[in-house]
Structure 1
Amino acid sequence: MYAAHFGLRELPFGITPDTSFFFGSPRSQEALNTLLIAARSGEGFIKITGEVGTGKTLLCRKFMATLGEDFVTAYIPNPFLEARTLMLALADELEVPLERQVDQHRLLKSLMQRLLDLARQGKRVVLCIDEAQAMPVESLEALRLLTNLETEKRKLLQIVLFGQPELNRKLELDAIRQLAQRITFHYHLGPLSPDDLDFYLAHRLRVAGYTGARLFTPAAVKGLYRASGGIPRLVNILAHKALMLCYGEGRQQVGAAHVKGAALDTVGRKRRLWPWLAGAGALAGMAASLAWTLTR
């Protein structure tokens, strides 16, 4: 694709949560510090919220990678599970040996025994649940009951809930008010600021191996912020497309026109952001240029 053209070892704006690209903006670094402090203090429940695309999954993986060897981590990416299935998923993550068709009593007993064994080894157990707003209320209550297990010093299981703002509304339900009261640390992950965005782009390009001069013009950066609202996932999508268009024209620097074309081509952006672009002519021209370059 365009990697060799710009002197990159890899594509810099992927949307997979690669921790090597983690950008320590003031907000994301503050969120990571909150997680680390909470985990090391031994609190039961921790909550991180943020809109779609603000980097919750990347933060989660960075958090787990940063914890030391005295921590055992479990990760559940899709918690839309009934309570028993959720317990089985946790048992699998903690490598708990179970008999086939194990009953609920033995399942819970085996889980608790594993937690006690790890505690005796000096290990702390942290369960990270992504997309927690999708978790059924009954499953949330089952997790709360698991956190009742503790020694005289600390909890045997800490749980970090990563979710969209809908999670806050779910936690307001009377049925799980006891869980909400146990959340002692929480942080809301917001979008990048306009100043952060420039550093964000430079950081990802540097990690990807870029060593040249400024790749995105100031006008392009402003256009990216306007089109994305500072949401990292949207920034990545738009920056990737803008680089493709720039490469298709054989240019070495991304300008505002490339960002406009990328925004026009992105679902949900066209009508609101670029009403003054008549039709798809601009993008079609760039795409034709890209196709011509690839077939030379």
Structure 2
Amino acid sequence: MYEKAFGFSAPPFQVNPDPSFYFESKGHSAAYQYLRFGAFQAEGFVVVTGEIGAGKTTLLRALLAELDPDKIVAAQLVSTQLGAEDLLAAVAQAFGINSEGLSKPRLLVTLEAYLARLATSNRRALLIIDEAQNLDATAIEELRMLSNFQFGNQALLQSFLVGQPELRKLLRSPQMEQLRQRVIASYHLGPMSAEETASYVRHRLGKVGWQGVPSFSDAALEAVHLASGGVPRRINTLCNRLLLSVFLDAVDTIDAPRVRQVHSELRAEMDGSSASDAPAAAGVSAAQGTSLLCIAASDWGVLACGALMDAFARREDLPEARMLRFLGHHAVRDEQQAQRDLRDLGVEVQGETVELTASSVAGSMAEASLALARRLEGDAPGAVIVAGDGPIDAACAVLASQARVPVVRVDAGLRNGDLDDPRELGRAASDSLSALLLTGERVAMDRLCAAGVPEGSLAMVGALAADVTRLGLARSVAAERTLQREGLPMSLLSDPAGFVLVWLDRASNDPARGAVLALDRELRTLGWRLSTLWPMKAADAALRQALQADAAACGVQTLEVRHYAELLGLMRHARCLLTDCGWLQDQATALGLSCLTIGPNTERHASLLVGTNRLVGPDAGTIARELVDLISSGGRRAGVPELWDGHAAERIAARVSDWLLSRQDDSYRSYLDGA
């Protein structure tokens, strides 16, 4: 109706899939490459999922147009609650085989014979099942059995399963284990970002000869993204009505108020239509279309968020993740070191740094809360990720919860039992306010289960510290280089007795510091001598200078480590780690390095129960005896705790993806209320 008035050669926003309008967003490009890869492999199953209207059918049609029909015979069917026998008949009919009156055994023989004839003529069969989430378990099992058909070493049938997000949940059920083992590629097609939505609109208009009339304002394109959740079919429906609206009103500019008005009209019209097509279904997509905000308020927070964001970035079904890094006396001490630590992991992250000027803990928490509040006033993230247990992490969890932004708590459930420890209170507060709790060890998991945390809000994923260790090992700096730079003797590395490595997160802790300085004397009393290396961060230069003379007199070599890779290199050569730092206890276990933890308690129970850690107090005599015992016995021979395989971040990313898919998006509902 409006095409002629605007000089269009065709309607630009048809709802029906049309490969000629294919738009290569980041997600669609990746999904298409997965399909092509699967087709090239010629065996097994390829799974592609996405929301209604995400563009799955368009991708399939684009792929089918590319395949050579002289080599591949493709059959496509749409699943509608098919059982096993119905599926077999439908597959046969899709390949042009008359199945009427055939028993199941006869049908299987006929189908196998047909597929074998294709193979003998150097052709192969590809079965594409759309809306595969409607298949029941018996039908999927029948598909798996069909994949057993072979001609020599060649698989006779390859299957593509395409469906809505429910298909992912179906395939993850325990009874689908055998089929999952045959999935050679799997991809979830998420919604487009705001920038991609704008490019998509312009792309489709350009395909029909658009010359800039009518124009879309930047605010209008942002409103289109919000209203559609970045889902192509919803974008098409909305933009088609927008073009009709400006044509009828004889105007040539589309602005944000018009988008909201037209979207409101569409909602009213669709109130009586099927729930599957209603805009309310955009909740999941809208949740995924927003960002994830990772809080980094300590050196460990930077490393943990780096590993998480690396895993998030490798999944197309997750929104963009950004880091909010806090720099200050009670947060990250050195911005340059933080950036270098991220490079040591080989990851690139997007984000910003907020400098905190307060000298007190309370002041830093207040500043951090204010900074986070300002960032939540605009486009609120889909979730705030909290991986640390410091006061600023807890403050951010509280503020996000109050702002109705869900909190994802990593390393949840850790406790040391000391109610006078501010970190203990922070851990409990963060856990209680979180919508999703992800634990790294069994004791923490059991504790949260006993506290009544709902099953859907809780998962055990393994220790993120093991992931950080795995990522950092490839870039760890040789201990020789660090010692040479600091002017320390290489004999520290060649000494058969080895050396004790000290790392105090709270270097101003008087009992711990006193224990380190008295350690050499206590060891000599026992007839032992061990070299002691005490690395400190550049931010602790003043403390190091104050201690240097006393440390040297006590046989302790202090040195500066400038970034994580240098510390990891020293840990790889050490005989034992002496620390008050929880995340380094876990990393020592990941490395198989014996560890003594200074203090009366620890929150890291897996490193004690299964790993390489022993808990000692701040008494130098006790520490010396434990050291002698460790070295005399060849070190603590420990196992690897459950799920400490260096892939916790990947499991976290998968769990966050599922969680986002299952949520209704509050920001989308707020947008609708304001329309």
TM-score (norm 2): 0.39
Which of these two proteins has the greater Rg computed from alpha carbons?
2
> What SS does the corresponding residue of 1:265 show, helix, strand or coil?
helix
Matches of 1:163 and 1:246, distance apart in 2: 36
Letter in 1 for 2:44: G
Kept after mapping to 2: 8 A contact 1:36/1:67: no
Give the Å deviation of 1:273: 2.1
Aligned to 1:139: 139
Letter in 2 for 1:273: Y
Aligned to 2:86: 85
Which segment is superposed worse, 77-86 or 224-233? Answer: 77-86
Give the Å deviation of 1:65: 1.8
1:190-205 to 2 correspondence within 5 Å?
Answer: 190-205=190-205
Kept after mapping to 1: 8 A contact 2:6/2:213: no
> What SS does the corresponding residue of 1:235 show, helix, strand or coil?
helix
Give the Å deviation of 1:201: 0.9
Matches of 1:209 and 1:111, distance apart in 2: 48
Call closer, same or farther: CA 1:79–1:144 in 2, change over 3 Å.
farther
> What SS does the corresponding residue of 1:275 show, helix, strand or coil?
helix
Kept after mapping to 2: 8 A contact 1:81/1:136: yes
Deviations along 1:63-113, one digit per CA (max 9) or x if unpaired, are 222212311111112342121121111111111244x31111111111111
Letter in 2 for 1:230: G
Matches of 2:241 and 2:669, distance apart in 1: 18
1:14-163 to 2 correspondence within 5 Å?
Answer: 14-69=14-69, 70-98=71-99, 100-163=100-163
Matches of 1:157 and 1:207, distance apart in 2: 37
Aligned to 1:292: none
- Normalized per residue, which structure has more strand? 2
Kept after mapping to 1: 8 A contact 2:214/2:252: no
Matches of 2:263 and 2:671, distance apart in 1: 8
Which structure has more RCO (C-alpha within 8 Å, separation ≥ 6)? 1
Matches of 2:254 and 2:180, distance apart in 1: 47
Matches of 2:153 and 2:196, distance apart in 1: 41
1:255-294 to 2 correspondence within 5 Å?
Answer: 255-267=255-267, 268=279, 272-276=670-674
Give the Å deviation of 1:255: 2.1
Matches of 1:79 and 1:116, distance apart in 2: 28
Matches of 1:94 and 1:75, distance apart in 2: 9
Give the Å deviation of 1:45: 0.5
Mapped pair 1:247 → 2:645: no
Give the Å deviation of 1:271: 6.3
Matches of 1:6 and 1:110, distance apart in 2: 56
Deviations along 1:44-65, one digit per CA (max 9) or x if unpaired, are 1010011222111221222222
Letter in 1 for 2:75: A
Letter in 2 for 1:20: S
Mapped pair 1:233 → 2:631: no
Give the Å deviation of 1:153: 3.6
- Extract unaligned runs of 5+ from structure 2: 268-278, 281-667
TM-score (norm 1): 0.87
Kept after mapping to 2: 8 A contact 1:79/1:130: no
Give the Å deviation of 1:266: 2.5
Give the Å deviation of 1:202: 1.6
Call closer, same or farther: CA 1:276–1:37 in 2, change over 3 Å.
closer
Matches of 1:223 and 1:35, distance apart in 2: 32
Give the Å deviation of 1:214: 6.7
Call closer, same or farther: CA 1:211–1:117 in 2, change over 3 Å.
farther
Aligned pair count reads 276
Kept after mapping to 2: 8 A contact 1:27/1:190: yes
1:158-197 to 2 correspondence within 5 Å?
Answer: 158-197=158-197
Give the Å deviation of 1:213: 5.2
Give the Å deviation of 1:274: 4.5
Matches of 1:27 and 1:275, distance apart in 2: 29
Kept after mapping to 2: 8 A contact 1:6/1:252: no
Letter in 2 for 1:145: M
Matches of 1:248 and 1:271, distance apart in 2: 29
Matches of 1:153 and 1:213, distance apart in 2: 58
Give the Å deviation of 1:206: 2.1
Kept after mapping to 2: 8 A contact 1:224/1:235: yes
Matches of 2:670 and 2:16, distance apart in 1: 27
Kept after mapping to 2: 8 A contact 1:2/1:247: yes
- Extract unaligned runs of 5+ from structure 1: 278-296
Call closer, same or farther: CA 1:274–1:142 in 2, change over 3 Å.
closer
Matches of 1:194 and 1:101, distance apart in 2: 54
Matches of 1:82 and 1:276, distance apart in 2: 45
Call closer, same or farther: CA 1:54–1:121 in 2, change over 3 Å.
same
Give the Å deviation of 1:43: 2.5
Percent identical:
35
Give the Å deviation of 1:32: 0.7
Matches of 1:17 and 1:266, distance apart in 2: 21
Give the Å deviation of 1:174: 2.7
Give the Å deviation of 1:208: 2.8
1:198-213 to 2 correspondence within 5 Å?
Answer: 198-212=198-212
Deviations along 1:246-286, one digit per CA (max 9) or x if unpaired, are 11111223222321112111224696424345xxxxxxxxx
